Every structure is written in structure tokens, then in C-alpha cells.
Structure 1
């Protein structure tokens, strides 16, 4: 932890973001709960993701950009044989394919093809701006949002266990990587589609989820 114990007005501290909360929800709750005037987060997590959120307050907010640039570690589950427009469970399923012919060897071989530098297209349901508009807002209105590929690096894409259609994985990646897109692209590579079923960010640089506060621990029992 940075900053004096119990003093979060000038600090970098870690929070375990609950399922269903936006990153801004957490910042807002902590701002009012701890009465911190200046606070922000270093790296957005989707509402359906859980895990490590770095908060910076006071003068430590100047470090947000450098913290955002750190590599990240995620664990989660990909389900193959189905897809959704948002590439996770935010939107309904829009395709269904048989995965009976898929083997563990095929999954691991496909995952290996994503390791290294890649050009990745962000999901249409993302906060990326297209002509000044957020892509997800355009997608929800049925407008076409053409997103440009971005340079990212997947340092490691380990398949931890397979119980098809579910695949449990661990990813170590660079800033700007969308794990939803990686899940979708893995499904595409296998020819059956796929979506991100669950995601937890466990590490940002040397900051680890194991050392993070829960909102209850940080603010008391009234975390809502």
C-alpha cells in the first residue's frame, strides 16, 4: 500500500471490484465514503468483470497514465459454441454452433496462435470513440461503428482446464487488450464461436488482487 495506513487522501490503493459494478461506481462510492476530493482509477473493468481496480487519490492521480501502461493478468472462462454481440453476457446469444468435434488439443493449439504481438479490433460494445461517439452507445442504437485494429501483446494465454463447452484460462497481456475480443476470436479460430463467460483481473504490474481491499473492508459494511 502507498500512503499512511488508513489515510487514503494521497494514495494508490487496490480494491476488488464486485460483479455488476462499473469502475466509476467504485470510484464514486469510495470518493463519498472516504470523503476524498480528488480520486480516479487506473484501468477500467467491465461491469461483468471482477477483480483488481487501482485507485489513485490526491497527487497520486498523476501516476494514473503510467499505471494504466502496466501489463495485466486475468483469469476467466470462455464458452464456445455460442456468440453474443457484446462478446460477453451483456447481450443475448445470436448464434449457436455444435462443438462436439472440438478437442482439448484443438483448443490449446488455437490459443497458442494468439501469443505475441497482435492487431486487435475492440468490441463494438466498448467505450472506444468513433467520430466522437462511444462505440457502445452507437451499437445500442443499432448504428454501425467501424473500429480500427489496435496493437497489443499477449504475453501468455494458458488454458488451465477444459470441460467443453467451458474453457478456463489465464492471460498476461499489454495495456488495451480486450479479453472479450480474445474470447470471441478464439471461438472464431475454432470455427464454432465463443464468448466470455466470466473474468477476473488478478494483477496489474506488481499490484496483486490478493492484497486488495473489499469495498466492505474499505468503507465498512455499508458498501452499497
Structure 2
């Protein structure tokens, strides 16, 4: 008589995945669901396709902890490109309204982070999955409707400029859940008077979970296949 193989993933695990560029967070969940052969799989906090880094994926009974993980502090690194804005605040849309940035000093760029540190009010990007009147606002924005979103209280506990490479500003941000780094990039550019957009983003930490402990999708797949008796 064939006994079904014990599946620890169906019972519940917390997986740390380093989401690759251009994948949606759901792509990563779908891949994990296929590999671990269990339906109950979810992630704790979306990363945009143009962002990479730490994605917490929960299976089985640990899907109950998703909201708890989502509420934890997050750390990001990335780049803001100054001297233009984009409608989506990132590279999903074309840069426009080009302005010179040569006049900006290191001190001015570093000082421009100060108004954003602490508890602040932030308006989310209109190209986001927030719902307004039951519809996702990016759908309304794409249709050309005028979307007005209310500012939300968020906390930014660190906003460090780590390197300045011409118009490309490298940063590290530690923030509360609900923070849009795209909005921060846009607002930072406005603070400097030249515009800015998010040109790269990597999530490096959620609570006590670090991307350094995460598996790439390929490594995770190899690990799963190595433990399979039915390969």
C-alpha cells in the first residue's frame, strides 16, 4: 500500500526568498506553490516587479502570521535619479520634465532628507494597488481619471545617502509598513526643486529577517528537487 509522502510545507513553513527583478510577488508565490506542492501559500508584503530583495513567503499554518510580518519595520536600499519625474514615480513610465542638477551640492542633497525623517504624512502614488471606491487606483489613473489620495501617517526612522554618482543618489531607508519608496523618491526630488524618481530598489530587511538569509528562486528550486524521492 502506498502511503502519501509527508509534506512539511503543507503543515507550515516561513520561507525567505530573494525576489528577482521583473518578477511580480505573485509570480514568486506561484513558483513556490508549484515546487512545494501545497495550495496554502502567501506572501507578507508586495514588492514591485522593478524591485528585488526580501519576500517572506508563508505556507500552511504560517499563512496566519502574514499580517504580523507585514506590520514589521522594513529596510530598503536603492537609487533615486534626480533631474526628471515620471508619472509612476519609477521606471515603469518615461522620465519627463527634465531639469539640470549640476548646481546641487552634497550638503543640499543630504539636507533634503531631513524633512522626511520621523513621523510624516505621505501621499501614496496614484499608480498603486490601493483601492478607492472599490476600484484599484492604478486602473483609474490609467483611464486618465483624476485620482486624489489622502496622505497617510508613516514613520521613516533612517534616510541615509550612501553615495552620490552624478544625478544618481544611492540611499538606505528604514521605514514603517505602508511607506511607498516611490513616493519618497518623488517627494525628495520635489524638495530639491529638480524632480526625482526611483530608479532601483532592493528590500534588505523585514523585522529581524534579512535578505542575506534568503534563497534565490533557483537555489530554492534545487534544494526542493534534491529532497524529492520522485524526481
Q: Give the alignment's TM-score, normalised by structure 1.
A: 0.94
1:83–1:195 Cα contact (<8 Å) kept: yes
In the alignment, what sits opposite 1:66?
A: 68
Aligned length: 216
What residue is the counterpart of 1:3 in the other structure? none
Give yes or no for the alignment of 1:136 onto 2:138.
yes
Quote how far apart the aligned CAs of 1:129 are: 0.7
> 2:169 aligns to what?
167
C-alpha contact (below 8 Å) 1:34/1:219 kept by paired residues: no
Of 196, 199, 211, 1:197 maps to 199
2:87 counterpart of 1:103: no
Corresponding residue for residue 75 of structure 1? 77
Aligned mates of 1:147, 1:22 — CA distance in 2: 24
**1:145 positional shift:** 1.5
Matched residues in 2 for 1:7 and 1:40: separation? 16
Partner of 2:9: 8
Deviates more, 1:123-132 or 1:6-15: 6-15
Instruction: Identify the residue that residue 228 of structure 2 maps to in structure 1.
Output: none
Alignment of 1:1-224 (within 5 A): 7-9=8-10, 10-220=12-222
Q: How far 1:13 sits from its partner (Å)? A: 1.1
Structure with higher Rg: it is 2
- Report the CA distance between 1:76 and its aligned residue: 0.2
Distance, in Å, in 2 between the alignment partners of 1:22 and 1:133 is 20
Query: What TM-score does the superposition give when structure 2 sets the normalisation length?
Result: 0.91
Distance across 2 between alignment mates of 1:203 and 1:218: 19
Gaps of 5+ in 2: 1-6, 224-231
Equivalent position SS for 1:95? coil
Whether the 8 Å contact between 1:76 and 1:169 is mirrored in structure 2 is yes
**Within 1, Cα distance between the matches of 2:86 and 2:197?**
7
